[in-house]
Structure 1
Amino acid sequence: MRVGVDVFAAERFYNGDSRGVLELAALADRAGVHLLTTSDHLGFTRRSHADRVRDFAFPFDLEQSWPEPLSVLSAVAAVTERIELGAYVLVATLRPAVLLAKQIATLDALSGGRTRIGMGVGWQEAEYDAAGLPFQGRFGRLEETVAACRELWESDAPSFSGRDFAFDDFHSLPRPVQSRVPVVFGLGASQRNFDRIARVADGWAVTPADLPELAESVTRLRQTFADHGRDPASAEVQVLLPTRTDAAGAPDYDAMRADAARAASGGADTVILRASALPIDSTDLPEAIDWLQALRSGLA
């Protein structure tokens, strides 16, 4: 079992100082945590945010800071040596494909080949409007975006012709250190989405709504990989653990360990803890990281 720590909103442990995230990253790296992730939004309208809170219990205030993930991960790369760098998840379709390919390749070069990016399409039409991009067609554009990135990363004469963008013999350096940058899609559990993953991605970042049917969905995902001529065992499955508290309001690590065990038995190979969601302060972070490490060995 691989374990990860999500550093989104972790500045709350450091009196609001965003640079404190680097301290948490270094702590996780020294402890041997496999993966570090953060989350993404360009912004919100007040109305769309209120709708999300009302309809889906969105847990973040409108005033919550959302640092740009690839910038954060580049800073993390400079203070870490081993931990892999990802997102849970990047709203990739808000970024031009050529720029996104350049950003990820640069991150991979700076980190020595430690990039492992989660991508999705988001839920907020107002976010697309503000970026001057169409909301419709975003799922297909995600697939094209990854295909274009792989062409730029891997081809000797990169050329691509898609619905929304095209290039011919376009060389963009640096290239990633890795021969194939792992990409996982944070999409709902459907056959259409699993086909998308099998065509261009490497795994699935599970949405909370899909956790109850995880085992059945993972079986279908792996069968889809086989149907596309890919090794079913190669499909990575990441799960962001729910936060559990006990009657006193303290972290219930036993309950979260049980959640992780259920995720593992359902086919997940990576579980991620969002530190900022725990009812703890900065002095408790080493204990949380130690718990992750114990989880890593306990669910091996």
Structure 2
Amino acid sequence: MEIGVNILGLEALFDGKIRPVLDFAARADRAGIDLICTGDHLGFNAEAHAQRVAEHNFLFPLDHPWYEPISPLSSIAAVTERARLGVSVLIATVRPAALLAKQVATLDSLSEGRAVMGFGVGWQEAEYTATNMPFDARFGRMEEAVAACRELWTNAPATFKGRDFAFENYHSLPLPIQNRVPVLFGFGPSRRNFDRIARVADGWTVNPTDLGTFTDSVALLRNTFEAHQRDPESARVQVSAVAERSTRQRVRRPLGNRRQDPGLVRPRRVRRRFSTCRIRLRCRRTTRTTRLDNQHQGGMTWTGHCRISSTSRQFVRWF
């Protein structure tokens, strides 16, 4: 299992300043975090935003600043050495394929091969209207966009002809450092969507996850990979875990006489002071999580994400 941290909104802990976010990322990288990612929205229609808040408990207010995600990740690339960098998820279909390929290739080059991208189609038509991109048929267009990106990431010159994107004898440099940039799709679990993943992508990113059907969904994803003559164990799964405040009373023991809590498993201890807040990542051992680990370890990549906001300054518990 790999552990990641989502830095979306983290600047709220530092009076809106971005430099402390870079310091946080650098310390998280040194502490052993496997993935640092952020989110993406170009903007909002006020009515659509209000509806999203009411119907889906959308956490971010209308005046929350959404930085273009590749830009801060490129800055983080300069102050980190090992953690992978990505977006969960980037709304790929409001960007032309040539621009999308250039952004990702640049991040992968600056980070020396550490980009891993979650792509989605979003939920808000206003973002498509503002960018003069069609809202209809966006799922199929994202599949085509990734196929076009694969061509641009592999060849110079590159040639591609599709329904929505086409180019011929086109040079787009730099090429990514990685031979194949990992791309995960943020789709709902269905055979049709998993077919799209198996054709052009490398895995599934889910946020939030429905743990009641999660095991069956992962099995379907693997079966779909196998049906497309791809190794089912190569399918990546990235899960966003919900952070919650710990209500458990902390018992302080003298140093040197602290026993391991039998109800907690700590595959990686990260306990550092990050600027104004102290964060401790830990995993609870429960029947549910143990079952998932036992059934789906193999080639799967498990990534938990902790969203850190101004209301979550206390210890964070992972499911």
Q: CA RMSD in A?
A: 2.5
Q: What is the distance in 1 between the residues matched to 2:280 and 2:205?
A: 24
Q: What is the distance in 2 between the residues matched to 1:73 and 1:98?
A: 19
Corresponding letter in the other structure for 1:273: H
Alpha carbons of structure 1 residues 164 and 193: separation in structure 2 relative to 1, 3 Å: same
Identity of aligned residues (%): 51
Matches within 5 A, 1:130-209: 130-209=130-209
In structure 1, the partner of 2:44 is: 44
Per the TM alignment, residue 159 of structure 1 is displaced from its structure 2 partner at its CA by 0.8
Q: What is the distance in 2 between the residues matched to 1:229 and 1:271?
A: 25
In structure 1, the partner of 2:301 is: 269
Alpha carbons of structure 1 residues 252 and 174: separation in structure 2 relative to 1, 3 Å: closer
In structure 1, the partner of 2:256 is: none
If the length of structure 2 is used for normalisation, what is the TM-score? 0.83
Alpha carbons of structure 1 residues 173 and 226: separation in structure 2 relative to 1, 3 Å: same
Secondary structure in 2 matching 1:52: helix
Alpha carbons of structure 1 residues 83 and 255: separation in structure 2 relative to 1, 3 Å: closer
Q: What is the distance in 1 between the residues matched to 2:39 and 2:204?
A: 15
Matches within 5 A, 1:47-126: 47-126=47-126
Secondary structure in 1 matching 2:305: strand
In structure 1, the partner of 2:224 is: 224
Structure (1 or 2) with the greater strand fraction: 2
Between stretches 198-207 and 239-248, larger displacement belongs to 239-248
Secondary structure in 2 matching 1:178: coil
**What are the superposed Cα offsets for residues 26-78 of structure 1, whole Å, 9 maximum, x if unpaired?**
01110111111100000111100001011111111111111111111101101
**What are the superposed Cα offsets for residues 150-187 of structure 1, whole Å, 9 maximum, x if unpaired?**
00111254111111120011111000011000000111
Structure (1 or 2) with the greater helix fraction: 1
Per the TM alignment, residue 275 of structure 1 is displaced from its structure 2 partner at its CA by 3.8
Structure 1, unmatched stretches of 5+, are 296-300
Q: What is the distance in 2 between the residues matched to 1:152 and 1:183?
A: 14
The 8 Å contact of residues 4 and 270 in structure 1, kept in 2 or not, is answered as no
Per the TM alignment, residue 209 of structure 1 is displaced from its structure 2 partner at its CA by 4.9
Q: What is the distance in 1 between the residues matched to 2:182 and 2:161?
A: 22
Q: What is the distance in 2 between the residues matched to 1:83 and 1:35?
A: 5
Secondary structure in 1 matching 2:245: coil
**What are the superposed Cα offsets for residues 208-253 of structure 1, whole Å, 9 maximum, x if unpaired?**
1533311000000000000001000000000010122345899997
Per the TM alignment, residue 81 of structure 1 is displaced from its structure 2 partner at its CA by 0.7
Say if 2:230 is the partner of 1:236.
no
Corresponding letter in the other structure for 2:87: A
Structure 2, unmatched stretches of 5+, are 251-278
Answer with 1 or 2: which has the greater Rg: 2
Q: What is the distance in 1 between the residues matched to 2:109 and 2:194?
A: 29
Alpha carbons of structure 1 residues 97 and 215: separation in structure 2 relative to 1, 3 Å: same
Per the TM alignment, residue 256 of structure 1 is displaced from its structure 2 partner at its CA by 5.9
Alpha carbons of structure 1 residues 247 and 32: separation in structure 2 relative to 1, 3 Å: closer
Query: In the comparison of the two structures, how many residue pairs are matched?
Result: 287
Corresponding letter in the other structure for 2:240: L
Per the TM alignment, residue 280 of structure 1 is displaced from its structure 2 partner at its CA by 3.7
Q: What is the distance in 2 between the residues matched to 1:257 and 1:109?
A: 38
The 8 Å contact of residues 33 and 83 in structure 2, kept in 1 or not, is answered as yes
